[in-house]
Structure 1
Amino acid sequence: MLDVGMGQGTQALRLARGGHTVTGLESDAEMLATARASLATEPEGIRERVRLIEGDGRETGVHFLPGSFDVVLCHGVLMYVSEPDAMLAGLARMLAPGGLLSLLVRNADSLALRPGLNGDWAGALAAFDTDTYTNRLGLRVRADRLDVLTATLAGIAAPLHAWYGVRLFTDGAPDGQEPPADEAELERLLSAEDRAGRTDPYRGVAALLHLFGVRG
């Protein structure tokens, strides 16, 4: 597996603990150092399944040969890329035949929900006519639409296989709010989110979209 824009390595380590061989690619030196420190605390059997590389997700061809991976993950990255098509084409080239491209993106068709549910009517109205937004880090970034990404995936020979919504009911929770302490209540919350993410029309207005393309 290739985890592009792996951040502090949380996802890569979780996959390695599950038995997968993972390469993490990250351009931020501080994030990469955090990932290396976390990896160093893992048992040897997990450490040997993880390779961490400093590099840009838009330049995967510099680091890897085409067809090198069974799965390529790009989660929470595309919103920081102003012109994502070339990057997506590069990611698709990294896939072996039948390989899976997993994308987690901000849903442009839901941008009005957060300000609207918070009573920010001016912000909600403005969000209908844009695909950019200010994230919780205070950065102006971009969102994607399902129909556009579907066409892009078809054009790079990794057509859409399945898609889900992510974070519908919990998107409006205040920053720093803890999840329910009661395990049964937490399970109900996760089950509600999971079902909404698989069910129309709810999944179409989730804060995030999780798309899977399969290399032909």
Structure 2
Amino acid sequence: MSDTSRPRASLRTAVVWEVLKEALDRRVKATGRDVLDVLDTGGGTGKFAVPVAHLGHRVTVVDPSPNALFGLERRVAEAGVADLVRGVQGDAQGLLDVVERDSYDVVICHGVLEYVDDPAEGVANAVAALRPGGILSLLGAGLGGAVLARALAGHFTEARTALTDPAGRWGAGDPVPRRFTAEQLSALVSEAGLAVGAVHGVRIFADLVPGVLVDTEPGAVEALMRLEEAAAELPAFHAVATQLHVLGEKPA
């Protein structure tokens, strides 16, 4: 866990990063190549692209926001990985207009499906960009985590609304257009022709624990991180996770 290549956002990204890093390592062994081609669709300013590049891999970041891509350019320059990361303006719906099919060993699709018109199309495009044997890392907003958060905040009607709404929204003011269950995300992956691998709950406890406890108790951050890791793969906790992470592998 002390790997210096891990992102520093700590609690909220630690579980996903560890799973992604292990997937990259597996792909390196499977291909026999030290340098992989990685696509980060919706990658923004490079939260994952920069640490992936620090591992020595080439990363293409596709994002619809010019401001995000400008931030990416500045971030990779500061991180010393500008030669390994390139930004391209585009979105999940038109992904194959800006990247080539069958060209990437790993595709990262984090926080994208919540906002696209057709999640199945978004996954299909990501899969089309993968080489045979390639790995998809998919991260989406979890329905159960939102329901629990609204209930614990005393917004019981909103919690029930999210529970029954087809898109998992708690009301008109909800900033997230769509949420998923682990089963829904897994189905999107399998229906796109991938073998579903590991499924993880993300931010199971981190968003519920008062910040003052984490900030003031010695060793609390590390202990909470260990707890998140221990619970991440347990299906019982997927139903209350703020986010859900699914790995899929394309047939060789």
Output the TM-score relative to the length of structure 1: 0.89
Q: In 2 relative to 1, CA 16–195 (structure 1 residues): closer, same or farther, beyond 3 Å?
A: same
- Following superposition, the deviation at residue 52 of structure 1 comes to 1.1
Residue pair 2:145, 2:204 contacting (<8 A) in 1 also: no
Is 1:167 the counterpart of 2:203? The answer is yes
Q: CA deviation at 1:2?
A: 0.3
Q: Aligned residues: percent identity?
A: 30
After TM superposition, list the pairs within 5 Å mapping 1:75-154 onto structure 2.
75-130=110-165, 131-133=167-169, 139-154=175-190
Question: CA-atom RMSD, angstroms?
Answer: 2.2
The verdict on how the C-alpha distance between 1:155 and 1:56 changes in structure 2, with shifts beyond 3 A counting, is same
Contact persistence 1:110–1:205 (CA under 8 A): yes
**Is 1:16–2:53 an aligned residue pair?**
yes
1:30 is matched with 67
The one-letter amino acid paired with 1:201 is A
Contact 1:80 1:141 in 2 (8 A): yes
Contact 1:134 1:140 in 2 (8 A): no
Matched, 1:40 2:77: yes
Amino acid across the alignment from 1:27: P
Offset at residue 149 of structure 1 (A): 2.6
Distance 1:177 1:81, change over 3 A: farther
Task: Give the SS at the match of 1:33.
Answer: helix
* CA–CA distance in structure 1, aligned partners of residues 233 and 208 of structure 2: 19
Q: Look up the SS of the partner of 1:98 in the other structure.
A: strand
Give the distance between the partners of 2:250 and 2:97, measured in 1 at CA.
20
Q: Counterparts of 1:202-213 in structure 2 under 5 Å?
A: 202-213=237-248
Which residue identity lines up with residue 171 of structure 1 in the other structure? D
Measured after TM superposition, the shift of residue 140 of structure 1 is 4.3
Identify if the C-alpha distance between structure 1 residues 132 and 188 changes in structure 2 by more than 3 Å, giving closer, same or farther. Answer: same
User: Which residue does 1:186 correspond to in 2?
Assistant: 221
Render the CA deviation track for 1:161-182: whole Å, top value 9, x for unaligned: 11100011122357x8795366
Q: Secondary structure at the match of 1:65?
A: coil
Q: Deviations over 1:1-55 (max 9, x none)?
A: 0000011112111111122111111110111111111122232xx2211111111
Instruction: Please say if 1:64 is aligned against 2:99.
Output: yes
Count of residues in Structure 1 that have an aligned counterpart in Structure 2: 212
- Taking a change above 3 Å as real, the CA distance of residues 212 and 24 of structure 1, as seen in their structure-2 partners, is same
Partner of 2:15: none
Query: Match for residue 230 of structure 2?
Result: 195
TM (norm. structure 2) is 0.77
Per-residue CA deviation, residues 65-90 of structure 1 (Å, 9 max, x unaligned), is 21100000011111111311111111
Given that 1:73 and 1:101 are in contact with CA atoms closer than 8 Å, whether structure 2 keeps it comes out as yes
Measure, in 1, the Cα distance between the counterparts of 2:87 and 2:209.
33
**Distance (Å, rounded) in 2 between the aligned partners of 1:178 and 1:37:** 34
Greater strand proportion: 1
Runs ≥4 in structure 1, deviation > 4 angstroms? 176-179
Retained in 2: the 8 A contact 1:150–1:159? no
In 2: Cα distance, 1:23 partner to 1:197 partner? 28
**Structure 2 stretches lacking a partner, 5+ long:** 1-37
2:94 alignment partner, SS class:
helix
Paired residue secondary structure (1:157): coil
Deviation, structure 1 residue 152: 2.3
> Residues 73 and 82 of structure 2 are in contact (CA less than 8 Å); yes or no, is this contact kept in structure 1?
no
